[in-house]
Each structure stands twice: as C-alpha cells, then as structure tokens.
Amino acid sequence: MMHSVIPCQWTMWPVSCLLLAVLVGVALSQELEEPDSYTECTDGYQWDSDTQHCKDVNECETIPEACKGEMKCINHYGGYLCLPRSASVINDVHSESAAPPSAPRPRPPRPSLTASHNTCPQGYEPDGLGSCLDVDECEEELHDCQPSQECINTAGAFHCKCPDGYRKIGSECVDIDECRYRYCQHRCVNSPGSFSCQCESGFQLASNNRSCVDVNECDMGAPCGQRCFNTYGTFICRCNQGYELDHDGFTCNDIDECSYSSYLCQFQCINEPGRFSCDCPQGYQLLGTRLCQDINECETGTHHCTETQRCINFHGGYRCVEKNRCLEPYVQVSDNRCLCPTTNPLCREQPSSIVHRYMSITADRTVPSDVFQIQATSVYPGAYNSFQIRSGNEQGEFYIRQINNISAMLVLARPVTGPREYVLDLEMVTMNSLMSYRSSSVLRLTIFVGAYSF
C-alpha cells in the first residue's frame, strides 16, 4: 500500500496541508474490489472501458486555469487542491511493487451479494433469497447529508454532494470565494454559491461577464453641448470656435469677444453666437472685417446735389455747394475762382481774387499737424510775399508757418472734435518796394471735421 507524506510550511498553510492529507487518505481507503458490471462513477472519477474500472480525473489538466494567481494545482484521487508554489507532495514508497489504489467503482441500480451465514455487510440488507441488496440510504433517508447537500447513493454506502459554488469541508458545505482567484477584470462581488463581476464607471461587462470594455458615451447620447470625444473609460466635451466650456464640463457658452477688448473693431463691435462682427457709422463702410472707410458719395453717385451744385465729399458725408460762389463786386472766372475787376472802384480795397478750396480732416487729430500748403502761382522780380489768416480763426485752432517767399503751411495747433466746419480766409500779401506796389489774394479754405477719428 502506498501512502503520501506532505511536507509543508505549517506556519503559513496548516489548513491546506491538513486538508490535502485527509483527502489523500480518504482516496487511498476506497474499496478496491467492485463488481465489473458497474459503469457509474462517483465525483472525481470516470469510467475506463478498457480496464472496466473507474479511474481518477486529473482536474489540473482538464480544467483550464483550475488555480488562479500564484497558486499551483495538485491533483489527488477524486479531486484537486490549490496550494502555494512553495508546497510540495512527496510519495513515500515502502514497496517497489506498490501501486496507486483503484478509484471507487460505479454505483449499480441495486447491487446484490451472496449472503454468508445469513449476514450482509454494512450498507446491504438480505433479500430473503440468500442474497444481499444494496441499501439506498438516500431514498430511505438513512443519510446524514445537510438540507443543502445532495445525497448520492453508492454500492454499500452514500456520499453528500455540495451545490455548485460550494466545497465540502468535513460535513459542511462552505461557499467558494471565487473573488480570490481574480476572475473579474475590475470588481468582483462574492455571493453565496456564486459571484458577479462589476465594471468601473465608463465600462460595461463583455459577453463573457468577466471582462470590461469601454463604453463609447458619445454614441450613447453623452450630454455634451457641442462636440464629444470618447476616451478610455470616460469622455470629454469640447466647444466650437467662439464658445467656451462651462464649469459643468458639458455646456458651451458663447464668448463675448466684444467685452474682452475695445480694439477689436474700429467703430462698433457686435457680439453674435459663436462670433462677432464689426459695424461702421453712417457714411462709412467696412474695409476688411474691422476697419471703417469713408464712402465717397460724390464718386458713387449716391448724393442729391443738383446740376448747379458741386458735390463736396468729407469724412462721413458730403455737402452740396453752389458752383458760383462769387459775390459782388467779384465775378466768376473759373469753377472755383472769383476775380475783382481793377476797373471797379470797389475793388481797390479788396483782395484781387478769391479762390475756393475744400478739404476734410478727422476728429481728434494729433497736433501740431500740417493741414494745407499755400503756394503762390506767380512770381514777380523784387516782390515779397507774406501769408496770414485773415478770418475764421477766432479760437486760434490754426496758425501759418511760412516756408519761403512763395509758400506757407497751414498748421492745426489744437485738437478739434467733429462734426464741425471751418471757413478760413488765407491771405497772401505781395509787396514790391521798387514799384511801391501792394496787392493781395485770398484762398477761402473750407475745412470739414469728421465726427470720428477715422
């Protein structure tokens, strides 16, 4: 007879070692001789048609991943154990001819034996005809199985089987904690006789009920206001240009670009959902997307001047003036020039000519700023020219800077705001000491100041 010696680290695994020793002992003590006609085997054995015996099933080879983690599988007669890899099982062979015991034989429907001296072995009863019939302890309730256990009748005996998810320790069925073996990818919840797997947020159970696969929240109606991007185990929301993500991480709020800076538009910024636009005042049009450009109504034909009037464009508008602006005693000699005839006595104390000019400047112009250059059209030998502002500069906004004998510059001395209109008479006085000659001419300059700085 062969028996097993199981050296273990008893300080760490005493229960495992004891359980292995008990199970091996029970397997070795099973009855070897059974009638050959039986074909049903107990748990842990299967019928071998060649030998006509029940042979042990090696669960370590037939059950995939029978032991999880760092445990190793040890097969024994009728079952197997999961032990630490440091444990070992040594067979102490007392005889070279010793062989492992045969597995239990299958249970017959009602096995019978020949009675000896009218007595039957334990587990059998006489049938009155000189034979012994097997007692079905399960049917006659002669077993001691727990209510949760299944009674399995065998030849001359019986055994108690635990439900799935339980293992038998002694006479009790103890729940198997499947979660110890890491069956689940994320979370394992043990329950009596079973277990279930749960996944972290953002994942769902795969078809094998153990693995966890990512949930594509974007395809399942994620609460993103605009754009959704799936990531492993979660998702993120993003907003279109012109929007920003709210503190809740889902909602997209319009960005009021106009409140961020007063320099986005030259005139007026208009906030719109997801964008902004620039607007210009009346008389101007957008140049690009942000600047304002004056509309020249005189060139575009959008004015309302008559045929006797001239259209004068200025920043933000236009003005219709009469083509003939000459007053007595002056007579018109061209579109913008009036001449006082020397034959008219009234002209002796008046400038010999008045030339009309028009110009436009923007408001809030930096100063000092050159505005208009005056140029003498005729030069006489021995003549000296001087320039002055004859009228229209009562507030002193302008002054004359003479450049040379024939030209001078009108300079803006102080910032001016608009809309406003100045009419300046710029006089050029010509003196000739040799001929004792003095004359003057006036350039009547109308300056339109726009309402804006552009």
Cα–Cα distance between 64 and 72 in angstroms, integer?
Answer: 12
Q: Which fold has domain 331-449?
A: Immunoglobulin-like (2.60.40)
389: burial class by Cβ within 10 Å (0-12, 13-18, 19+)?
Answer: middle
- State the average pLDDT over residues 247-256: 97
Cα–Cα distance between 31 and 42 in angstroms, integer?
Answer: 13
Which class does domain 51-82 fall in? mainly beta
Work out the percent of the chain whose per-residue pLDDT is above 70: 83
pLDDT given at position 149? 93
- State the average pLDDT over residues 113-130: 76
**111 pLDDT more than 70:** no
**200 pLDDT more than 90:** yes
**233 pLDDT more than 50:** yes
Q: What is the pTM of this model?
A: 0.56
Q: Which fold has domain 259-294?
A: Laminin (2.10.25)
pLDDT given at position 9? 36
Mean pLDDT of the chain: 84
Q: Which alpha helices (H) appear in 294-436, and where do they start and end?
A: 297-300
Token pair of 378, please? 């005729």
Q: Which fold has domain 217-254?
A: Laminin (2.10.25)
Q: What Cα–Cα distance (Å) separates residue 213 from each residue in 220, 237, 316?
A: 14, 21, 67
Cα–Cα distance between 329 and 346 in angstroms, integer?
Answer: 7
The sign of the torsion formed by the CA atoms of 298, 299, 300, 306 equals positive
51-82 and 259-294, same CATH topology = yes
pLDDT given at position 318? 98
Lowest model confidence (mean pLDDT) among 122-126, 214-218, 244-248, 407-411: 122-126
Name the pLDDT band for 110 (thresholds 50, 70, 90): low
Name the pLDDT band for 119 (thresholds 50, 70, 90): confident
- State the average pLDDT over residues 418-443: 91
- State the average pLDDT over residues 216-233: 95
pLDDT given at position 74? 83
Q: Find residue 203's DSSP bridge partners.
A: 214
331-354 pLDDT tens trace = 999 989 999 999 999 998 899 999
**7 pLDDT more than 50:** no
Name the pLDDT band for 134 (thresholds 50, 70, 90): very high
- State the average pLDDT over residues 254-280: 96
Which class does domain 136-173 fall in? mainly beta
**267 pLDDT more than 50:** yes
**Which residues, including other chains, have CB under 8 Å from residue 113's CB and lie 6 or more apart?**
120, 121, 124, 131, 132
Element (H, E) at 260: helix 257-260
What are the extents of the domains in the chain? Answer: 51-82, 136-173, 178-214, 217-254, 259-294, 331-449
66-105 pLDDT tens trace = 787 777 888 877 787 887 766 545 443 333 333 444 444 4
pLDDT given at position 173? 92
pLDDT given at position 49? 74
135-187 pLDDT tens trace = 999 999 999 999 999 999 999 999 999 999 999 998 899 999 999 988 899 99
pLDDT given at position 255? 97
Q: Which fold has domain 178-214?
A: Laminin (2.10.25)
Name the pLDDT band for 33 (thresholds 50, 70, 90): very low
pLDDT given at position 87? 57
